[in-house]
Amino acid sequence: MSVEKIYTIPVNEAYESDVECPLCSLKKKVENDYLEYYLGPSLMEPDTRVITNKTGFCPEHMGKLNLKETNRLGLGLMLHTHLKDYKDELTPLLNNAAPGKATLLKGRNSDYKAKLNAIADKIDARTKSCPICEKVNYTMDRYSEVVMHLFAKDPAFKDKFTSHHHCLPHVAVLLRTAAGKLSQNEAADFLPLLAKTNEEGFKALIDDVEWFTLKFDYRNTDKPWGTAKNSIQRSMRFLSEDRSEFDEQKSK
Ligand SMILES: [Zn+2]
Ligand SMILES: [Zn+2]
């Protein structure tokens, strides 16, 4: 199968399915595949370990690996070497972080402040570094390029595209990919449709959330919910990306 097909098939499937944001549903699937990958035999492979020893996983993906509750041994071994690698880098830096005491002879010296900030930056960078994020971002870039390609070349794709309201972070992804990949004439076709579906998405949610709040008025108690019942979660998914915290089942 050509590389292009590998990405085209899932993009078409996502846009043909009845989901809120197709890019969210693609991302969930890719992310889950990589979570399983890192909890599978790869966790023991030297090539993978060289990377995960250094990077560990970001807070979000560590949480998701934890919730999977599989391969606890593999996770333990990975964390063991990751902690050691981290300690080897951080301990000497922290041991040398303290400035000398200011004395009458030596006076004040603020060089140590830059050092403290540099160590803090190093910790922040290591906290964020994550091979799952990297791979998911890479795949999502390919998917959004395929969206542009299909939009420009496949007339049937336009209808599939306009039947969805993308979440706002994925609108941003589409805008950037459009800037990078579409010709001016293609962009002239693409952006009005993106704008239209986005405005419709806003309007539908604003109406539904308003009705959600009005349902708290006793005069409306017996009136039907319509589509407003899960409008809080749908708004959160629209404003952010789809996350398990916004799942209707978990917020009853
Ligand atoms: Zn999305
Ligand atoms: Zn991550």
pLDDT tens, position by position, 54-101: 899 999 999 999 998 888 898 999 999 999 999 999 999 999 999 988
The per-residue pLDDT for 6 is 87
180-203, pLDDT tens digit by residue? 999 999 999 999 999 999 999 999
Q: Which residues touch 116 (CB under 8 Å, ≥6 apart)?
A: 97
The per-residue pLDDT for 1 is 64
The per-residue pLDDT for 250 is 62
How far does residue 206's CA lie from ligand 1's centre (Å)? 18
pLDDT band at 251 (very low <50, low <70, confident <90, very high): low
How far does residue 60's CA lie from ligand 2's centre (Å)? 6
How far does residue 26's CA lie from ligand 2's centre (Å)? 16
Does any domain span residue 103? no
Using a pLDDT cut of 90, give the percent of the chain over it. Answer: 77
As residues whose CB is below 5 A from the ion ligand 2, the structure lists 58, 61, 130, 132-133
Nearest partner of 30 among 141, 128, 125, judged by Cα: 141
Does any domain span residue 104? no
Structure-block tokens of residue 117: 């900030």
How far does residue 178's CA lie from ligand 2's centre (Å)? 25
203-221, pLDDT tens digit by residue? 999 999 999 999 999 999 9
Number of residues assigned to the chain: 252
Does the pLDDT value for residue 119 go beyond 60? yes
Does any domain span residue 217? yes
pLDDT band at 111 (very low <50, low <70, confident <90, very high): confident
Does any domain span residue 227? yes
Nearest partner of 143 among 49, 7, 51, 48, judged by Cα: 7
How far does residue 28's CA lie from ligand 1's centre (Å)? 10
Nearest bound ligand to CA 61? 2
Nearest 10 degrees: Cα torsion 7, 60, 86, 136: 10
How far does residue 115's CA lie from ligand 1's centre (Å)? 40
Rounded CA separation 236/178 (Å): 25
Does the pLDDT value for residue 247 go beyond 60? yes
Note whether 33 and 154 are within 8 A (CB). no
Helix, strand, or coil (residue 71): coil
Does any domain span residue 105? no
- Number of structural domains in the chain: 1
H or E segment at 145?
A: helix 131-153
Q: Find the domain containing 137 and state its range.
A: 3-98+111-251
How far does residue 219's CA lie from ligand 1's centre (Å)? 36
Nearest bound ligand to CA 164? 1
How far does residue 73's CA lie from ligand 1's centre (Å)? 34
Does any domain span residue 194? yes
Rounded CA separation 18/163 (Å): 9
27-57, pLDDT tens digit by residue? 999 999 999 999 988 877 888 888 888 899 9
